[in-house]
Amino acid sequence: MSAEIFYHTLANIPVGHYSSYGAVAGLCGVHVRQVLAWLRALPPGSALPWFRILNSQRRISDHPGAARQYQLLADEGLLPDQRGRFAKDLYWPALKS
């Protein structure tokens, strides 16, 4: 699987929305570990919205860039609730009921 599909998928997460590692992996036809590897390989300063990918609990994962991720999401109006979870209605692609 080419990283180009991943880059295209990542670029298409709409502003003000987020996705999960698993959802992106599913859309790209790869394992979650591949998504993580592609994210780690993004060049510093990449314009791709890496920060719009959250974990399966709709939270920011614990990693060195978590504070920056939080700020970039907040800049788009995405703020978590008191438990640190982001709103289901902003998930992309939309969650099935």
Considering the domain delimited by 3-90, tell me its CATH architecture. Answer: Orthogonal Bundle (1.10)
Q: Tell me the pTM.
A: 0.93
Nearest to 50 by CA among 79, 72, 77: 72
Count other Cβ atoms within 10 Å, centred on residue 87. 13
How do the domains of the chain map onto residue ranges? 3-90
Q: List pLDDT tens digits, range 28-58.
A: 999 999 999 999 999 988 999 999 999 999 9
Reported confidence tier of residue 95, pLDDT bands at 50, 70, 90: confident
Q: List pLDDT tens digits, range 78-88.
A: 999 999 999 99
